[in-house]
Structure 1
Amino acid sequence: METTITEIADGIFRLSTFVPQIAPPAGFTFNQFLVLGDEPLIFHTGLKTMFNFTHGAVSRILEPTDIRWISFGHFESDECGALNHWLAAAPQATAMQGQICCDVSLNDFASRAPRTLADGEVVELGRGKRVRFIDTPHTPHGWDAGVLYEESTRTLLCGDLFTQLGNDHTLTEGDIVGPAIAAEELFKYSSLNPAMGTTIRGLADLAPHTLALMHGPSFSGDGGVALRAGGRV
């Protein structure tokens, strides 16, 4: 395995590790996102077994010890399995997530106390970067699910939303809804619930320009249109 680096928006980097053994022949990507600033943020830590790959990729952009914030979509191994590895590698870093995640999992799991984020809370990273935490319970899955929205670049760090197979593109302006439907049919990963459509349409109202997918290519274009289309499925 190797981890590739792509700048998907100004100061936001996609760190992608492709695993062809998952869902062959298409394979599956695991993506982390590094947001630069005076207090850099990494969104998703990846699996423990992928830590050396991700750490090496971050080292090509900045000193890993400079990481200040660590966050993720929901409590699951590919999202935060390497959290304590990162907390050890970045002594000034603090994990942060929503109230449910901290109360149910993170307060016990993290080797240092996390920061609990309220729905809509904004964290200033410096150099113009700021991320807003948005609760998205059970969307696409996980009671504790949430996303981060980087306001200056209009980049939505989507977690598992729009999960898809393959490694054909790092950044696309094409259809991401159809491939996400295909992945849903294979994995059955969504927690379909009455509030899901409302939650996704609320994200669409942000009018994001970039959608940073954890599994699959990042999307550049009218993210609101893509989210509304996904919310209707």
Structure 2
Amino acid sequence: METHIAEIADGIYRLSTYVAEIAPPAGFTFNQFLVLGEEPLLFHTGPRGMFPSVRAAMARVMDPANLRWITFGHVEADECGAMNEWLKVAPRAQVAHGRTGCFVSLNDLADRAPRMLDDGEVIDLGSSKRIRYLDTPHVPHGWEAGLYVEETSGTLLCGDLFTQLGNGPALVSSDIVGPAIAAEDMFKSSSLHPSMGATIRRLADLKPQRLALMHGPSFEGDASAALLALGDYYDRQHQAQAA
């Protein structure tokens, strides 16, 4: 197992591990994102089994012991399975998540007490990097779900949104909505509900410059248009389900 690393924006690195055995023949990628600053932040920990590979990849950019913040979209093995492994190697690191996630799960699961974030709260990482937390309950799934945007670069760390198969380039400007719909038709992993489309369209209002996907390539281009199209797709899916 090998984790590849690529800089998708200034000081933001994609750590990507391809697993051919998941959804063959295309396979599946598991991505973490490292945001450098005076207080470096890792978005997604990866599952425990990938920890040695992901740690080795991070070490090519910075000393993992200097990690300060650990964040993720929701409580799930591939999002936070290696959380406590990172806490062990980084003595100053602290998990940060929304209040629901902390109250329901992380106050117990994390080896050190997490920082509870309110919707819209900012963590200033220094070196002009600012991460803003966004509550997105049940989007794409999990009532504790939330996303983050790095405001200086306009990078939306969008977790499982736009999940797609395959092992493409680290950064693309081609269509990501069609492949995301194909993956949703296969996995049916999203929590369809009346406000899902509206929640995704509110993310478009942020006017992000790029989208950092957990499963698939990162995207640079008209990210707002992609978010609007994805929100409209989920509206159609919910209406069809209700009918």
Q: Does 1:185 align with 2:182?
A: no
2:214 alignment counterpart: 214
The aligned amino acid for 1:178 is: G
In the alignment, structure 2 segments of 5+ residues that lack a partner are 234-243
2:45 alignment counterpart: 45
Q: Does 1:194 align with 2:194?
A: yes
Alignment of 1:74-93 (within 5 A): 74-93=74-93
- 2:73 and 2:5 map into 1 onto residues whose CA distance is 20
- 1:38 and 1:48 map into 2 onto residues whose CA distance is 26
1:64 alignment counterpart: 64
The offset of 1:168, in angstroms, is 1.9
- 1:222 and 1:6 map into 2 onto residues whose CA distance is 21
1:33 alignment counterpart: 33
- 2:139 and 2:174 map into 1 onto residues whose CA distance is 23
Q: Which runs of 4+ in 1 moved over 4 A?
A: none
- 1:168 and 1:98 map into 2 onto residues whose CA distance is 32
2:2 alignment counterpart: 2
The offset of 1:170, in angstroms, is 1.2
In the alignment, structure 1 segments of 5+ residues that lack a partner are none
Identical columns (%): 64
2:236 alignment counterpart: none
Q: Deviation per CA, 1:129-182, whole angstroms, max 9, x where unpaired?
A: 000000000111110100010000000000100000000221110100000001
Q: Deviation per CA, 1:194-226, whole angstroms, max 9, x where unpaired?
A: 111110011000010110000000000111010
The aligned amino acid for 1:24 is: P
2:148 alignment counterpart: 148
- 1:193 and 1:132 map into 2 onto residues whose CA distance is 25
Q: Deviation per CA, 1:92-117, whole angstroms, max 9, x where unpaired?
A: 00000001000110000000000000
Alignment of 1:114-125 (within 5 A): 114-125=114-125
The aligned amino acid for 2:8 is: I
- 2:140 and 2:78 map into 1 onto residues whose CA distance is 15
1:161 alignment counterpart: 161
2:237 alignment counterpart: none
- 1:160 and 1:168 map into 2 onto residues whose CA distance is 17
Please give the secondary structure, in 1, of the residue aligned with 2:147: strand
TM-score, length of structure 2 as denominator length: 0.95
TM-score, length of structure 1 as denominator length: 0.99
